[in-house]
Structure 1
């Protein structure tokens, strides 16, 4: 490389400064020296060689990979276990129904069962935004562990229910606890991982939901094979899924890391690097507390509600799966016990598909296309169920209906991490993100209440009205995903025209203007 080429290369580097040369200026000198041995100002003032710059960049990349692996090893296992427990405890009513809960407590009433399902969503919806803001105001890890303790105690208490009112009360408190966990979990992960890293991690954690569906079916099947017991099978189910969650919540309260700046498992240098990584994408909020300008921006932003409506389209299917999948599979001709076992394969397929889609989405940084694709899977699944009859059906029709169930479960779980990562990437601060994620539950779970009443027994075994309703909203979700993708592409092009292409390695100051700040570009 001759002198002219070297000069041109240095000019390019000056216009796009590497994060390793600039982001540690706010950290202590001793910390800065570990990642920028020459010192930021010394590098700026000296005629450092291109080799030195590239070497520092390579050192930064290697150190980052090591840090991310360390964070993964500490944060993800506990988060996955918590999410697994939360979905076991919120969705076990469908299995308990087949084990006698509806007959023994709810007077064999479809309506009473639907009310029990919806009680969870009433408190979950009302408290989701306050719960998410609480995670920002105090500490996300503390909020999560307290929420886990509340929902696990409430789940265990369901085993003692003897009247519909007792079950309704317990279900309401399950919703209270999960409102302090649901989107706070996604918010907590966004404190540790950059936008390109987030979807795969969220997907890994949310795979706990699909695992919970499989485990719940397996546990219910095992309990059903016990035969006559002193305690009714559905009570054993609630105890087996509730009590371990209590212990997990206590462990999380003492061991779950909060945020990088306060973490004990990281060294001072690693904490500085973790803060710097978050500064690479936007201004990092290192303290607790709520930024009310960001709250107002999120509450009056049409995109907040559009994302939430799209999320609700997915939640109609998720609520239908959680409440009625065992019943739909039983109506394919299986016994109640065997139906529990046959709920497992759809969840396993959903688990693999969800993680694969999120990994591809992270690599390509494409959220909208992947989200629209998963809605198409849901459309295909519900179409198969609508197009095949369960009454006087042939073996091939029963097999097709089971394939439809697999596609529906895959769509229900595959969309969640994609939408959460999409919302997270398109907010400019932690407080705005908290409202955006909380609104996913507040608006997004309204259709979950509808799902609780969508499959009454009088419609079985075809359930054409409930299937048609789900099919229509999957189509709406697909349309919204496509429209948002087109809008974000157009908006990014408009900003490129006005501001020019954003420079890499430059920290965006998003504290005041949030997603309207110069240089901010939306994830598409």
Structure 2
């Protein structure tokens, strides 16, 4: 295959890559560090390497074949992921929608009971994260997602028969168990299929379904709320409709969701090789199905892991409270039930714009920290408005504007996930790190709703004060994490120099295919020839890994 003009890496370097891959066991790199775990050099290896060895050749990545394969991947994966996440967020939101249509009164909820119905989902997800991490390494991804969707749809459907706090809690508990692996699985899918440059937009796209749910979920619920039935209450119709819709979609996931690029049935063998080359410069591997305890240990000893954990708690505390009590907050501004549902639509639109706008800006700047810091500012301003403006009917418009300004915050969570995903390598370490993040999200979503109670209406001062404080803490943590990643990059440069390499290397994963990155003087930056991409090395073990801040 001929090398297109202007593409990178060069043909000679590509031949070096292929030779290194095809003989990686017989001819290990002279630059490989002696302190790397022996398991990395055992008989088990990344499935990408196995496919290249089976076919007997690799391929050259060009702008043309990259664009063609990326389009195929997007057309197959994104519709499935978007619908799954839409349904998941819709199913979670049914609780807040149902509260507007008489759930609290008809099931005799009082005190913190409604808050705990929101929090118990995250308690279940927190407890089941260790099992989820293991399953995501060992179980085919497509099958995992299909079964998860089926079981959580059944759990939601069963909420139709719940008549009191106890039965609602049981149903919500199982809903949380079956949803526990979905967000971590989506992170794993994004890492498995997309270059680091492409990840923010893809992560943002499925997370933006939160905004779509607040728009169209509100409209659907508005329609369902008008249905009169001698058998079901309005809130029961909401549970049954969305539950059965989820069960039906699980069959679509089972049939069309591929397990991995290597096992996909919608790409030719040549396209699979292109998919592998697309992921090479991520330096994160693709798929091994081997659980490595040394990578588990490294994940827990990595300072970055705890930065991600702290960032996720800081955003999830306000997110959990506002998500659960949002419709009730609007209602207490002086709007009736149906207007409350309709007024949640602009909230969703702003979420959608903030999420996709933040992802686009992170891709353009090739940095996530500054974008995250920027996204913290509107929620801080909105929280101050709601706290300082007098809660009377005459002030309901400015209060509503403050609420809408807060709604920029959903753009933060997917960028934190994307930030972590781009800065973690090693099959097991990636899954464990994602679990640590998700535990942080669960803890925040457990705490958040319990900082609000129905007795605080209409001011909800304790909850809103806590949200304001956490948005400020989040901004500070972002600054500290950026400084830490910059420090790690300097350490990586010293390691490369010690290994006889150039301090600066091309991070192709953050540039368009065919681009030739240069230094400040305009000189091309040296390429990585010693290829560690598919050796299942962690970011600590691989001196070629470049951290993104």
Match of 2:422 in 1: 425
Change (3 A) 1:19 1:90: farther
The whole-number CA distance in structure 2 between the counterparts of 1:363 and 1:17 is 30
Measured in 1, the distance between the counterparts of 2:528 and 2:246 equals: 43
Match of 2:98 in 1: 96
Per the TM alignment, residue 132 of structure 1 is displaced from its structure 2 partner at its CA by 3.1
Does residue 80 of the first structure (1) align with residue 82 of the second (2)?
yes
C-alpha separation in 1, matches of 2:221 and 2:148:
25
| Residue 348 of structure 1, CA deviation | 0.9
1:320–1:334: structure 2 CA closer, same or farther, 3 Å change rule?
Answer: same
Check the 8 A contact 2:313/2:441 in 1, yes or no: yes
Cα distance change on mapping 1:18 and 1:377 into 2, 3 Å: farther
Cα distance in 2 for partners of 1:286, 1:156 equals 35
In the alignment, is residue 157 of structure 1 matched against residue 180 of structure 2? Answer: no
- C-alpha change, 1:422 and 1:331, in structure 2 (3 Å) is same
- Three-state SS of the structure 1 residue aligned to 2:262 is helix
Deviates more, 1:306-315 or 1:275-284: 275-284
Given the superposition, is the C-alpha separation of residues 227 and 296 from structure 1 closer, same or farther in structure 2, using an over 3 Å criterion? same
- Contact kept in structure 1, 2:262 and 2:272, CA below 8 Å: yes
How far is the alpha carbon of 1:505 from its aligned partner? Answer: 4.9
Q: Distance in 2 between matches of 1:468 and 1:280?
A: 44
What's the CA shift for 1:327?
0.3
For structure 1, the 5+ residue unaligned runs are 1-8, 37-56
1:399 corresponds to which residue?
A: 397
Cα distance in 2 for partners of 1:443, 1:498 equals 32
**Structure 2 Cα separation of the partners of residues 194 and 276 of structure 1:** 10
Listed one character per residue, the Cα deviations across residues 84-120 of structure 1 (whole Å, up to 9, x for unaligned) are 0111111211111111111111x14132111211211
1:240-275 CA-to-partner distances (Å, cap 9, x unmatched) read 111110011122122211101100101001111112
Corresponding pairs, count: 486
- State the alpha-carbon separation in 2 of the partners of residues 17 and 334 from structure 1: 68
More off after superposition, 270-279 vs 166-175:
270-279
Deviation at residue 239 of structure 1 after TM alignment? 1.1
The alpha carbon displacement at 1:67 in A equals: 0.3
Does residue 471 of the first structure (1) align with residue 473 of the second (2)? Answer: no
> How far apart, CA to CA, are the structure 2 residues paired with 1:467 and 1:159?
32
Verify the 8 A CA contact 2:423 2:539 in the aligned structure 1. Answer: no
| Worse-matched range after superposition: 156-165 or 225-234 | 225-234
Report the Cα offset of residue 466 of structure 1.
Answer: 0.6
Alpha-carbon offset, residue 17 of structure 1? 5.7
Corresponding residue SS for 1:428: coil
Rounded Cα–Cα distance in structure 1 between residues aligned with 2:117 and 2:284: 44
Tell me, yes or no, if the aligned pair for 2:141 and 2:258 is still in contact at 8 Å. no
Taking the TM superposition and a 5 Å limit, the aligned residue runs for 1:260-409 are: 260-282=261-283, 284-390=285-391, 392=392, 394=394, 397-409=395-407
Tell me what 2:220 maps to.
219
1:146 maps to 147
Aligned to 1:486: 483
**Contact 1:129/1:439, CA 8 A, preserved across alignment:** no
Corresponding residue for 2:548? 523
Q: Give the 3 Å change call, closer, same or farther, for CA 463–172 of structure 1 in structure 2.
A: same
- Give the 3-state SS of the residue equivalent to 2:536 in structure 1: coil
Q: CA deviation at 1:294?
A: 1.4
How far does the alpha carbon of each residue in 1:154-205 deviate from its partner, in whole angstroms, 9 at most, with x for none?
A: 1111111012111100000110111121211111121000111111011111
Q: CA deviation at 1:19?
A: 4.5
Distance of 1:195 and 1:209 partners within structure 2: 23
Question: Do 1:31 and 1:268's aligned partners in 2 also have CA atoms closer than 8 Å?
Answer: no
Residues 265 and 513 (structure 1 numbering): CA distance in 2 closer, same or farther, change over 3 Å?
closer
Give yes or no for the alignment of 1:458 onto 2:459. Answer: no
User: Per residue, is there more helix in 1 or in 2?
Assistant: 1
The answer to whether the 8 Å contact 1:147/1:177 transfers is yes
Structure 2 contact 115–452 (Cα < 8 Å) conserved: no
Q: Deviations over 1:337-380 (max 9, x none)?
A: 21011111111111022112101212221111111111222212
The match for 1:49 is none
Separation in structure 2 between the aligned mates of residue 311 and residue 234 of structure 1, nearest angstrom: 31
Equivalents in 2 of 1:100, 1:151: separation in Å?
Answer: 23
What is aligned with 1:42? none
What is the rounded CA distance, in whole Å, between the counterparts of 2:155 and 2:54 in structure 1? Answer: 50
> Which deviates the most, 231-240 or 274-283?
274-283
1:233 equivalent in structure 2: 234
Tell me, in whole angstroms, the C-alpha distance in 2 between the residues paired with 1:476 and 1:485: 15
The answer on whether the counterparts of 1:350 and 1:406 sit within 8 Å (CA) in structure 2 is: no
- What does residue 439 of structure 2 align with? 442
- The 8 Å contact of residues 347 and 406 in structure 1, kept in 2 or not, is answered as no
Q: How far does residue 419 in structure 1 lie from its aligned partner after superposition?
A: 0.7
3-state SS of paired residue (2:193): coil
1:125·1:441 contact (CA, 8 Å) conserved in 2?
A: yes
Report how far residue 493 of structure 1 moved.
2.9
Structure 2 unaligned spans of 5+: 23-51, 497-502, 506-525
Q: 1:387 to 1:508 in 2, by over 3 A?
A: farther
Deviation beyond 6 Å, 4+ runs, structure 1: none
- Give yes or no for contact 2:427–2:536 (8 Å, CA) kept in 1: no
- Counterpart in the other structure of 2:17: 22
Q: Does 1:504 align with 2:527?
A: yes
CA RMSD of superposed structures (Å): 2.3
TM-score if structure 2 supplies the norm length?
Answer: 0.84
C-alpha distance in 2 between matches for 1:294 and 1:415: 27
